[in-house]
């Protein structure tokens, strides 16, 4: 993967991770969550972790 593609992919995954973190944070601030919202948080956290794992892989990969 060339440098520019790698940078673009890193930026995309970082943006996705931040958006997911914001959405989780917004939901967790609520005093009460419906069962559907609780499932949504679980799903978002799994996506956030997958994004973090991908970022780690991209950062570790040789340039």
Dist CA 48 CA 33 (whole Å): 20
Is the pLDDT higher at 32 or at 61?
32
Q: What is the pLDDT of residue 62?
A: 79
What's the pTM value of the predicted model, to 2 decimals? 0.87
Contact 10, 55 (CB under 8 A): yes
Contact 48, 20 (CB under 8 A): yes
pLDDT in tens, 5-57: 999 999 999 999 999 999 999 999 999 999 999 999 999 999 999 999 999 99
């Amino acid at each position: 993967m060339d440098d520019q593609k790698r940078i673009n992919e890193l930026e995309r995954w970082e943006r996705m991770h931040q958006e997911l973190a914001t959405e989780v944070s917004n939901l967790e601030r609520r005093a009460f969550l419906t069962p559907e919202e609780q499932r949504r948080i679980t799903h978002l956290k799994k996506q956030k972790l997958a994004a973090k794992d991908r970022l780690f892989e991209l950062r570790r990969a040789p340039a």
